Chains A and B, each alone.
Chain A
Amino acid sequence: MNAQPGATEALAVEEASAAVGLEERPLPARAEPDGGRRVRVASGQGFWGDWQEAPKLQVRRGAIDYLMLDYLAEITMSIMQKQRDRDPAAGYARDFVPLMDDLIGDLLEKEIRVVSNAGGVNPEGCRAELGFAFADQSLPRRPRVAVITGDDLMDSLDDLLAAGHELRHMETGEPLSTVRDRVAAANAYLGAEPIIEALRQEADIVVAGRSTDTALTYAPLMHEFSWPDDDWDRLAHGVVAGHINECGCQASGGNSLVDWREIDLTLPGYPIIEAEEDGTFVVTKHPELGGRVTWETVAEQIVYELGDPREYITPDVVADFSTIRLRDLGKDRVRVEGVAGRSRTDKLKVSIAYHDGFKAVGALTYAWPDAVDKARRADEILRGRLRHLGLEFDEIRTELVGAGACHGPLAGTPSDDLPEVTLRVGVRSPDRHAVSRFSREIAPLILAGPPTVTGFAGGRPRVQEVVAYWPALIDRGVVEANVRVETMEL
């Protein structure tokens, strides 16, 4: 880790680490009545665009110590990069700024600290906007904001490739050089270390970029309990806690198949991790809010986006999810224990986004009778017109929404008596002109196509630039995380 102190109050990381040993880290006293110390990390956002009330309810409807806000999915960095290409001040989770503006008074009063990856591809831009927002506030003290950078490898990409780091695609094995001229963003997944450093420097709000989702939960636990960074089993528990927190309400009754009719999701409580010093923890939620935490809701979230359960790889530890043991304690409390971990690998994952042509998706809705046949005929007409125009596409995909778009052949033959069906046609091509021309061929089907058609109120399909995802691995030694903690002016 490398330190780049920005403001006068920021400490150089290496100096600070030398001056303050692990055993000397101040530990906030949050003793529970039974004597066991617990740290509560609440999940407030599971993706960019998640419910804005959730973090406010987490802060205002019960006691928590940390608020974890995860904004980044695989494709989110690509989207943020596109926004930054258009506006150099953009490229982070814009929702985060008004949210912090609303919450900052409560956070400081209740001593709740925020750990987020809201910075996206522009953490400094995010911090600057926070500064403008807080400047108008009357607060008990000036908040300290940490910015974590160093995940962005764009500027050093050619040097890395020249030095022999091929950044091969993790699934196809192709070297990055095949798409180098089209790369739009390259970010390494950073682990717990810079977040712990930010918390050690008393940050109230941590704004990271491509931080590993799970680290947003387990880094505060490592900080609070002073877990050694090679205590694999405890770290593995932290990773499971992070995996449960990182998708918000999906662990507390949202998107839950079991008993979904019975779960009140109007004002749901998002999950809260109550961790103990030994790594084990309880998943719970604020009692007065909706949602539900049971063996089933937690188990469902544990298998979400899971690969090989024995090899859940993070920058800090490899966790074995097949060792997880769950106990339903009742009253929205599920205990998690037994998790085994092993030594971290010498690689970091890199998320690379590259330009990969253009696409557009158009839709029209056909009503009873014979809705499916009308939609299919319209699709044939559309494809005939595209051929007439001499347009070529990498792919043309037709789906009938309401008649098997989700489950395809598994849904069986659609009834000829359906009340309506939506024809959804998408195209993709390296040629922007071809895609743009396609987008003008949907509306004509309304008058020059099969009857009883509607649903074109949204206008012509938007031509979207495809920014594709390229996962790769890199030696961890070449990535240097930077931490800058600054006291904001009011």
Chain B
Amino acid sequence: MQLKEIAFARSGDKGDTANVGLIAFRPSIYPFLVKEVTAERVKYHFKGICEGEVERFELPNLRALNFLLHRSLGGGGTVSLMLDAQGKTFATALLRMEIDVPDHLLDGSAD
């Protein structure tokens, strides 16, 4: 299953760093995201795209994780030659991540 079945996201840029905010569809899913979608795993997911470190921050009130993907935008801003120089499509790129989701999180019974 892909991450997009249990979460949504929005992404943007700060210089050469892309940020991706990942938000669980339901509160019961958030602890699962915290456990499974680690900075290391996101760094591996974006191999060939993110050349720097990946940092992760937690926003439990919003059942959200915020990822900073450093050195990912070809220099960023007006320097970058990338079509997506501002990282606008990194959100759905993260949502492609394959993940094993327990059944009880999918039917909403855990909420």
Q: Do A and B come from one complex?
A: yes
Q: Which of B57, B75, B79 contacts A309 (CB 8 A)?
A: B57
Question: Does the CB pair A306–B15 fall under 8 Å?
Answer: no
Q: Given the known A-B contacts A309-B57, A321-B59, A322-B58, are A395 and B96 also in contact in the complex, defined by CB atoms under 8 Å?
A: no
Interface residue? B23 (CB, 8 A): yes
Q: Which of A359, A410, A471 contacts B96 (CB 8 A)?
A: A410
Interface residue? A433 (CB, 8 A): no
Interface residue? A302 (CB, 8 A): yes
Q: For B47, give the chain A residue with the smallest CB separation.
A: A409
User: What is the CA–CA distance of A464 and B85 in the complex, to the nearest angstrom?
Assistant: 15
**By CB atoms of chain A within 10 A, which of B15, B68, B79, B81 has the most?**
B81
Interface residue? A305 (CB, 8 A): yes
Question: Does the CB pair B45–A410 fall under 8 Å?
Answer: yes
User: What is the CA–CA distance of A359 and B77 in the complex, to the nearest angstrom?
Assistant: 13
Which secondary structure dominates chain B's binding surface? Answer: mixed
Interface residue? B28 (CB, 8 A): no
User: What is the CA–CA distance of A257 and B89 in the complex, to the nearest angstrom?
Assistant: 11
Interface residue? B91 (CB, 8 A): yes
Question: Does the CB pair B66–A303 fall under 8 Å?
Answer: yes
Question: Does the CB pair A406–B21 fall under 8 Å?
Answer: no
Question: Does the CB pair A466–B78 fall under 8 Å?
Answer: yes
Q: For B64, give the chain A residue with the smallest CB separation.
A: A303
User: What is the CA–CA distance of A176 and B43 in the complex, to the nearest angstrom?
Assistant: 31
Which secondary structure dominates chain A's binding surface? Answer: mixed
Question: Does the CB pair A469–B78 fall under 8 Å?
Answer: yes
Q: For A296, give the chain B residue with the smallest CB separation.
A: B8
Interface residue? A407 (CB, 8 A): yes
Q: Which of A304, A326, A401, A468 contacts B83 (CB 8 A)?
A: A401
Question: Does the CB pair A469–B15 fall under 8 Å?
Answer: yes
Question: Does the CB pair A406–B64 fall under 8 Å?
Answer: no
**Complex interface: stretch among A220-228, A380-388, A420-428:** A420-428
Interface size on A, residues (CB 8 A): 52
CB distance from B68 to the nearest CB of A (A): 7
Count of A-B contacts with CB under 8 A? 134
**By CB atoms of chain B within 10 A, which of A322, A338, A427 has the most?**
A322
Question: Which chain A residues border B23 with CB–CB below 8 Å?
Answer: 296, 299-300, 303
Question: Which chain A residues border B46 with CB–CB below 8 Å?
Answer: 410
8 Å CB contacts to A: which residues of B1-20?
8-17, 19
CB distance from A181 to the nearest CB of B (A): 18
Interface residue? A308 (CB, 8 A): yes
Q: Which of A300, A356, A395, A401 contacts B21 (CB 8 A)?
A: A300
Question: Does the CB pair A428–B79 fall under 8 Å?
Answer: yes
Question: Which chain A residues border B62 with CB–CB below 8 Å?
Answer: 299, 302-303, 324, 326
Interface residue? A462 (CB, 8 A): no
Question: Which chain A residues border B57 with CB–CB below 8 Å?
Answer: 308-310, 322
Q: Given the known A-B contacts A324-B62, A325-B61, A466-B79, are A410 and B93 also in contact in the complex, defined by CB atoms under 8 Å?
A: yes
Q: For A427, give the chain B residue with the smallest CB separation.
A: B81
Question: Does the CB pair A322–B16 fall under 8 Å?
Answer: no
Q: For B48, give the chain A residue with the smallest CB separation.
A: A409
Interface residue? A74 (CB, 8 A): yes
Interface residue? B110 (CB, 8 A): no
Residue pairs across A and B with Cβ atoms less than 8 A apart, 22 shown, are: A75-B77, A78-B78, A171-B16, A250-B10, A257-B92, A299-B64, A304-B10, A304-B21, A307-B66, A308-B55, A321-B59, A326-B62, A407-B92, A408-B49, A409-B48, A410-B96, A426-B81, A427-B81, A464-B78, A467-B78, A469-B78, A469-B79
Residues of A within 8 A of B (CB): 74-75, 78-79, 171, 250, 255, 257-258, 296, 299-310, 321-326, 338, 356, 359, 361, 395, 397, 399, 401, 405-410, 424, 426-428, 464, 466-469, 471
Residues of B within 8 A of A (CB): 8-17, 19, 21-23, 45-49, 55, 57-62, 64, 66, 68, 74-79, 81-84, 89, 91-93, 96
